[in-house]
Chains A and B, each alone.
Chain A
Amino acid sequence: MMQAVNTAASAFETDFWKDANLRKVWDEIVPGEPRKTLPYKLTHEAIVLYCKSVGETNPLYLDEAVAKSGPYGGLVAPPSIHILLMFACTPADDWMRSPGTVNAGQSWSYNIPARPGDTITLQARALDKFIKRERLFVVHDNVFFNQNGDVICSGRGQTIRAM
């Protein structure tokens, strides 16, 4: 089946309450079960916006002429671009978007940089869930790939579910 490729500019639902009732609550999340994800075309504009939000001024992300003579032979995204990719590749009914979900910490390993123009895919799942100090935790793990099947980065995190 053909699947539409997400871009930041098109059709991203910014109201996280919408479809909230479709999302799995902690009880329904099955560790090990793959999450449905969406391919996402990373644009230079999205990278520029991300850079602006964290004060990145590195020309490898922003200045094509400088980046061309740099270590990657062209523009790349900062390693932490997975912060954007996580939501860009996540459908609106996914539990990652449940309002009140608190991020308790993350760890990421970086292989190669994402580049503007890449079509990025995500393989993701809940890996574990547990209760600690009356809070409901879910451990999620994630791997981002480019259109050549190369791993860009992989990471896992813990979220505390809204109750």
Chain B
Amino acid sequence: MTATFESLTPGDIIEGPAFPVSRESIRLFCDASLDYNPLHLDDNYMKGDFGKTNFGGIIMHGMNNFGLITRMLTDWAQPPDAIHRRLETRWLKPVKPGDTITPTGVIKAKQVTSKSRWVLIEVMVTNQGGEKVAAGEAMIEFPATAEAGPSTH
């Protein structure tokens, strides 16, 4: 169902599709993002320690989480002509080949400002074990009217 600003209630849930992570998906993200950091490519390099951390093998780009959260938010916002305006994320756990990760969002609050209307969303990505691998906050703008809303062009 298409969300409307009026009908949204704190606690409402947004869900994105599950994303299977593989060596191939990580390699594709390297090519798509031009981020060829050996963290994502080189198992030998990843046998070493990073300070007190040892990942034990290649890890997914943290920004892959960011891309999945963005996809969930824009797919949700587009039908009611709302606009994805802000996303902040932190990475909590590394994601590895073989994991399946799923983004979700929870409506936290609505705010009307002098020229627009905003929905604040808590976002997270969880792995197949239910562990949070990424967390953050997003802001979606629901322009009040076509005339009053800011140009999106």
Interface residues of A, Cβ cutoff 8 Å to B:
8, 12, 14-17, 46, 49-50, 52-56, 58, 60, 71-73, 78-80, 83-84, 86-88, 97, 99-110, 112, 134-135, 162-163
Contact = CB atoms under 8 A, between A and B. Distances in A.
Interface residues on B, range: 35 or more
Contacts, number: 128
Contacts of B52: 134
Give the interface SS of chain B, mostly helix, strand, loop or mixed: mixed
B39 interface: yes
Contacts of A17: 38
Contacts of A87: 33-35
The 7 A-B pairs of least Cβ separation, nearest first, read A107-B88, A54-B67, A53-B32, A87-B34, A105-B90, A80-B70, A50-B32
Given A58-B74, A100-B37, A71 B152 contact: yes
Contact of B68 (A49, A55, A99, A102): A55
A83 to B, nearest CB: 5
Interface in B55-97: 61-64, 66-68, 70-71, 74-75, 78, 81, 83-91
Interface of B: 17, 19, 25, 28-39, 45, 50-52, 61-64, 66-68, 70-71, 74-75, 78, 81, 83-91, 136, 152-153
Give the interface SS of chain A, mostly helix, strand, loop or mixed: mixed
B45 A99 contact: yes
A80 B67 contact: yes
